[in-house]
A and B are shown apart, each in its own frame.
Chain A
Amino acid sequence: MSNNNQAKHPTNNPFDIFIIGARKGFNIAVNNLVPNILMAYAVSEVLRILGVMKFVGEIFGPMMFIFGLPGEAVTVLLTAWLSSSASVGLAASMFANGILEPRHITILMPAFFLLGAQLQYMGRLLGVADVPKRYWPLLMSASLLNALCAMLIMNWFFA
């Protein structure tokens, strides 16, 4: 999915091009989405059985209240920092368990990506682009700020 796709496609037929994209989608879904969500469901099962979810929920309850979220939602945000797909999977499983409601998912939606996968992107983005390490904490604080502000806005206006 780079910008010189026009040169790359051997065909001009939109149906064929659609197939190329759909095939990419299938590969990503099978290789990325399915394993990540499976893991997130298993991890959330561990957290649920151990009672970690409830404990974290009670501690962070007051803080998450600002964003109109239940305290347990903080686990989703912490996971987002490691991997967007894992956090989305976790949110989906918390929704299935009745911990999160559609309203909460709506508030969280922009945060999954604004905060998303920072750990991975340190290497894949900041490392590759050679952004000096000295500024990485600044960029991380910007991402965190973005996610918190976006959740506030979602809570006030859209959820």
Chain B
Amino acid sequence: MSEENKEPKKSSYNPDEWKVGPKGFIALLVAILFFSGLLVKFPEMKWLSAFDFTTLTGKFGAIQATGKSTFVGSGGAGARGGFLFALTLVPSVMFALGMIEVLDHYGAIKAAQKCLTPFLKPLLGIPGLTGLALITDLQSTDAGAVLTKGLYDDGLINKKDLVIMGAWQYSGAGMIANYFMIGSALFANLTCALLIPFSLIFIFKFVGAIYVRIMLNLFYKGDFQDEQ
């Protein structure tokens, strides 16, 4: 698509464009075999069907008992099965993000930051002002990363703080958004309260960061000697 914006070429023939390596021919062969339907024609070599388009497209589930199964049915597989299943997640994701947006608007996230700040120094040894970056990471990995870099660039945290903050953010990054968006796919199957795995993720963010803090103090001590 981006090609269209370029200057029109003088000749439509560009020898470079027509160079095809062996990779290209292999890809073409794979494409032909993949879409041909030939690979399901060997009953004694059933594993070949794993590389067949129609097999992997799969099938929609069948609605067997009206009143019991949803439109997903049961027994769906492959791309078709996955698509219908993914569609069932759309409403819960939309609803969860709508609610989070509203709660965020009324300051829930800021309040969380206030609660978190006093624990940062004693637990992780990092200054309280890092709270905003950490809380932001709970919702958006990218925004948290940018804020963290800003703190280091402005000289507000040292390299050791940066590594500890990185550890806190890395494991379970974007946990609020990810848990309610992606995890919602499996909420119906949980045998415990929704908030238990969620809280556990949050607690282990601290556990991981404390582990990294200890490791830095034990094995990487020399790295940070020039810092106060």
Contacts and interface: CB of A to CB of B under 8 A. Distances in A.
Interface of A: 1-3, 5-6, 9, 14, 17-26, 28-30, 32-34, 37-42, 45-46, 49-51, 84-85, 88-89, 91-93, 95-97, 102-103, 105-106, 109-110, 112-118, 121, 124-126, 128-132, 134-135, 138-140, 142-143, 145-147, 149-150, 153-154, 158-159
A100 to B, nearest CB: 8
A68 B149 CA distance: 40
Shortest 5 CB-CB contacts between residues of A and residues of B: A21-B101, A41-B82, A25-B97, A22-B98, A25-B94
A35 to B, nearest CB: 8
Interface string B186-228: 1001111000110011001101110110011000100100000
Interface stretch (B18-26, B120-128, B177-185): B177-185
B132 A124 contact: no
Contacts of B192: 106, 154, 158-159
Contact of A46 (B56, B144, B182): B56
Q: Assign chain B's interface to a size class.
A: 35 or more
B158 interface: no
A130 B182 contact: no
Contacts of B185: 33, 37, 88-89, 92
Say what secondary structure dominates the interface of chain B: helix
B171 A105 contact: no
Contact of B182 (A23, A50, A88, A115): A88
Contacts, number: 287
Contacts of B204: 110, 114, 146, 149-150
12 contacts: A22-B94, A37-B83, A45-B56, A93-B85, A102-B191, A110-B204, A121-B141, A124-B145, A126-B145, A130-B162, A132-B159, A139-B163
> What's the dominant secondary structure at chain A's contact region?
helix
Contacts of A134: 223
Contact of A29 (B93, B140, B197): B93
A119 B143 CA distance: 18
Nearest to A20: B101
Contacts of B109: 3
B152 interface: yes
Interface of B: 46-47, 49-51, 55-56, 58, 74, 76-79, 81-83, 85-87, 89-90, 93-102, 104-105, 107, 109-110, 113, 132, 135-137, 139-146, 148-149, 152, 159, 162-163, 165-167, 169-173, 175, 177-179, 181-183, 185-186, 189-192, 196-197, 200-201, 204-205, 207-209, 211-212, 215-216, 220, 223
A34 B186 contact: no
A139 B200 contact: no
B82 A37 contact: yes
Given A28-B97, A102-B191, A118-B170, A41 B200 contact: no
B47 A125 contact: no
B189 A105 contact: yes
Nearest to A18: B98
A49 B47 contact: yes
Contact of B179 (A1, A21, A50, A113): A113
Contacts of B149: 128-130
